[in-house]
Structure 1
Amino acid sequence: MAQSGRKPIPISGAGLASLLLAQSLKRAGIPFRIFERDASISFRAQGYRLRLSNEGLDAIESALGPEAFQRFWERCGKTGGSGFAAIDAITGADITERPKNTDQGKAVDSEARGSLLSREGKIVGIARGEMRKLFMSGCESFVHWSHTIMGYELTSSGVHAIFADGSKSVEGEMLIGGEGIYSRVAKQVSQGKIKTYDTGARGIHGQAPSTAFKGLGEGVWRLTDSTRADRKVFVITNVRPGDMDDPDVQFGWTLGAQPGVVNPPNNDYSMVGKPAADIAKTLTANWHSRVKPLFDNMVESEAAFWKITCSTPSGVPEWPNEPRVTVIGDAVHSMTPAGGIGANTAVRDSALLGRLIAEAGGYKDGVTAAYEKEMRVYASEAVKASYGMATAQFDVKLDENSATV
């Protein structure tokens, strides 16, 4: 139950980090409100399946508490196998142990395989959309849809969120920006120091009936097509046990490519479905029969484009702390999908900030400073690792003069 007399904490965005933070605040009895630009939870594609590390699972358990975490754990898939197995998409051959050209490449590949395993020696994963619904459970009445936060206004005793139509939220104790890579809160609070770069690389999310994955078998797989130096394409997919004979169950895959290979028509990322499916089918047209069913049998309506972005590769920047405003998740540290690090880092933000606010009983001077100090350490390490792996996988190169989103 919310503490009577306390002003609510506005949270910008209803993504994973924001919703998990809300769960933590709800458990502590601290009032909050979530403002989301979309019209509903099903307004747009929810993205790919997420792999959860030990650190990510620990953070989720800390924020949800024992009972809610048990429900979450029961919905997660637990995949066995040898870790990150690789397949040559053209020949269908296993190439997991193929030596890399450099020692750095070997280290990156080994690190990526090892980081997949978490509890019970399994690779634990869950669809992003399902994870979001679980994190929203019990918070539905506190989510205000179709509200885009454009910034904030500090007062002598709190903060107002400012919406796109010029109206303001009720005065809150604090404001938490968790609205992703286009966060206006992040830009304002960091005085422009938080930057998200467009790597130029692009991808496509897709789904197919689980029966299409029989040629792979259980495990986490990377399908690689490097037949052309200027058109490297790869696909990541997680094949869970027990469902490969049920055509009513769908598994997801994520296709990524180096800059210039995947280009949505008119550069329109809201143009999902068949346009994205057609590009995926074209790029995989000559792939081996072992893997081609993933694309030949894909559910076209579920295909969606995505940009591959990354925060400043050197890590989370410093900015003058604002005691009543801070940022979490992609709003402060966007990462490439390499290594599956981004979501795990975001939920660590939620658990850390939620714990600090709960311990303080709500707003208290020093809470956001303590959060940002600790967050910068693990998030900077994560951004560097994510960018390093993406450099090897996508051939992306960033510097301070690269285009931002």
Structure 2
Amino acid sequence: MAASTQKPILISGAGIASLLLGQSLLRAGIPFLIFERDASISFRGQGYRLRLSEQGLDAIESVLGPEGFQKFWDTCGKTGGSGFTAINAITGEKLARPPGQHEAGKEKSEEAADEKPKTVAERLTSRDGKAVGISRGDMRKIFMSGCEPLVQWSHRVTGYELTENGVRTIFTDGSKSIEGAMLVGGEGIYSKIARQLSGGKLKVYDTGARGIHGQAPSTAFKGLGEGVWQMLDETHPNGRLFAITNVRPGEMDDPNVEFGWTMGGQPGAIKAPNDDYSIIGKPAAEIAKALTANWHPRVKSLFEQMVESEAAFWKITCSTPAGVPEWQNEPRVTVIGDAVHSMTPAGGIGANTAVRDSALLGKLLTEAGGYKEGITAAYEKDMRVYASEAVRTSYGLAHIQMGVTIDENSATV
């Protein structure tokens, strides 16, 4: 166990990557503090349901241990049924091959050239032949367990300063944190830590595509049945629209259970008033209903019966498609999750890559018994390999599915 006099690891942001890192440090007895801009864990909506890959589950299990992971696993939904199915949103009929599945060989980036490329269903399946998913809110609550006293709410980090033997975070009001041994930036796509650390090399691009998240009573999903579903509308005058949902077994007859869905579209297909992607509630719900007004009854119920208060717009972003850039390593500062590799929702890769960051960095800190020079360099070297591949795959799928195209000259967020 690390000595109690040890300077803490400072973590900016209380998202899933930061909290899972906190769990790793908690189990190792390494002191840490988390600074979160929100006033509480329920301050904002928690977003859509996350699909967990085999690698994502392995990373979480390595951090939580057998007992902790069992609790996490029991909370997850496991979807089998027809597996992954794409349907025509207008006719309700099954599509032979959805966009992005083995199209022009562009899904081969994760496999060796001589391997047979994986189907969408194979990519979605993670354990026991099931697609495993959990809501972001549930995941965050589980990862928060035990960390509550170590989270300082309403603390927005705007930068950091290095000291002779450590580092301090700088907050919006100009005040500073206590001295920490190391700082981890995990505060998402608008991370000030990432920009300062990389000298502006870490960039997050606005793809131009927009989406809407929503929920509806599980009974509204009976027309689909169990499985992972993608609904495609190629007829919308502003461009292709799609929606994705995961219908879990055993709950479709309970009107008190809600399932979520995520809608997206090509740039220009989904428009928020004044491009205000922060719009939530009824205004967002009304736009989702208007966009799906001519969809087939089999899927239209998801939007007609939606819980209006849960609807929310979102801006689809992506880091540099070429991969995580190099910057001069700072031994006491590094970044994890969306702060270092923002991804589109295509392929459901982002959250799985974020928890891999947490597991890797937590393992390095645990093995060293706390901060040690060389840890951030070792972490960044390994992270760049898998995260760069993940960003390229995510962008490639989004290019096919949503028609997004970005380069170094595209607008950043």
Query: Match for 2:245: what amino acid?
Result: T
1:212 counterpart residue number: 220
CA positional deviation for 1:40 = 1.0
What is aligned with 2:104?
A: 103
Q: Which residue of structure 2 lines up, in the alignment, with residue 113 of structure 1?
A: 121
1:65 matched to 2:65: yes
Q: How does 1:161-240 map to 2 (within 5 A)?
A: 161-228=169-236, 230-240=238-248
**Alpha-carbon distance in 1 for matches of 2:49, 2:282:** 20
Q: Distance in 1 between matches of 2:96 and 2:42?
A: 37
For 2:256 and 2:103, locate their aligned partners in 1 and report how far apart those are by CA, in whole Å: 43
Say which SS state the counterpart of residue 128 (structure 2) adopts. Answer: helix
C-alpha distance in 2 between matches for 1:104 and 1:206? 32
1:140: Cα distance to partner?
0.7
Aligned to 2:114: none
| Cα separation, partners in 2 of 1:190 and 1:98, compared to 1, 3 Å | closer
Q: Distance in 2 between matches of 1:348 and 1:338?
A: 18
Change (3 A) 1:184 1:111: farther
Are the counterparts in 1 of residues 106 and 396 from structure 2 also a CA contact under 8 Å? no
Which residue pairs with 2:260 in the alignment? 252
Partner of 1:375, secondary structure, is helix
- Within the candidate set 383, 387, 390, 2:398 is matched to 390
Counterpart contact for 1:199–1:310, Cα < 8 Å: yes
Secondary structure in 2 matching 1:281: helix
CA distance in 2, matches of 1:23, 1:113: 31
Per the TM alignment, residue 97 of structure 1 is displaced from its structure 2 partner at its CA by 3.6
Question: In 2, Cα distance between the equivalents of 1:169 and 1:25?
Answer: 19
**2:107·2:397 contact (CA, 8 Å) conserved in 1?**
no
> What residue in structure 2 maps to residue 278 of structure 1?
286
For 2:119 and 2:393, how far apart are their aligned partners in 1? 10
Q: Which amino acid aligns with 1:7?
A: K
What is the one-letter code of the residue matched to 1:180? G
Residue 7 of structure 1 corresponds to: 7
The DSSP-based 3-state class of the residue aligned with 1:69 is helix
Name the amino acid aligned to 2:328: P
CA contact (8 A) 2:107 2:393 kept: no
Q: Quick one: which of 329, 335, 339 aligns to 1:331? A: 339
> What are the Cα deviations for residues 283-342 of structure 1, in whole angstroms up to 9, with x where unaligned?
000000100000000000000111100000000000010000000000000000000000
TM-score of the pair, normalised by structure 1:
0.97
Number of the residue aligned with 1:376 = 384
Counterpart amino acid of 2:325? P
Which amino acid letter does the alignment assign opposite residue 104 of structure 2? D
The percentage of counterpart residues that share the same residue type is 72
Rounded to whole Å, the distance in 2 between the matches of 1:264 and 1:33 is 37
Aligned positions, number: 405
Say which SS state the counterpart of residue 65 (structure 1) adopts: helix
Instruction: For structure 2, list consecutive stretches of 5 or more residues without a partner in the other structure.
Output: 110-116
Change (3 A) 1:30 1:102: closer
Question: Within 1, Cα distance between the matches of 2:120 and 2:153?
Answer: 37
Query: In structure 2, what is the Cα distance between the partners aligned to 1:40 and 1:273?
Result: 20
Q: Is the contact between residue 36 and residue 143 of structure 1 (CA under 8 Å) also seen in structure 2?
A: yes
Contact 2:209 2:315 survives alignment (8 Å): yes
SS of 2:120's partner is helix
Q: Which TM-score applies when normalising by structure 2?
A: 0.95
In structure 2, the residue matched to 1:261 is 269
The aligned counterpart of 1:76 is 76
Tell me the amino acid that sits aligned with residue 103 of structure 1. A
Contact 2:82-2:226 at 8 Å conserved across structures: no
> Per-residue deviation at 1:267?
2.6
C-alpha displacement of 1:83: 2.8
Between the aligned partners of 1:2 and 1:242, the Cα distance in structure 2 is: 46
Q: After superposing the two structures, state which structure 1 stretch, 122-131 or 90-99, moved more.
A: 90-99
Cα 1:365/1:105, change in 2 over 3 Å:
closer
Q: Which residue of 2 aligns with 1:85?
A: 85
Q: Is the 8 A contact 1:265 1:275 kept in 2?
A: no
Letter in 2 for 1:297: Q
Instruction: Please name the residue that 2:136 is paired with.
Output: 128
How far apart in 2 are the matches of 1:36 and 1:163?
11
Question: 3-state SS of the aligned residue for 1:382?
Answer: helix
The C-alpha deviation readout for 1:345-369, integer Å capped at 9, x for no partner, is 0000000000001111111010000
* Structure 1 gap segments, 5+ residues each: none
Kindly provide the amino acid, as one letter, of the partner of residue 104 in structure 1.
G
Distance 1:106 1:384, change over 3 A: closer
How far residue 82 of structure 1 moved from its aligned partner, in angstroms, is 3.5
Aligned residue for 1:309?
317
Measured in 1, the distance between the counterparts of 2:301 and 2:290 equals 13
Q: Find the counterpart in structure 1 of residue 46 from structure 2.
A: 46
- Contact residue 85 and residue 96 of structure 1 kept, 8 A: no
The Cα RMSD (Å) is 1.6
Asked if the contact 2:102–2:119 (Cα under 8 Å) also holds between the matched residues in 1, the reply is no
CA separation in 2, counterparts of 1:146 and 1:101? 46
Q: CA offset at residue 270 of structure 1?
A: 2.9
**Secondary structure of the corresponding residue to residue 299 of structure 2:** coil
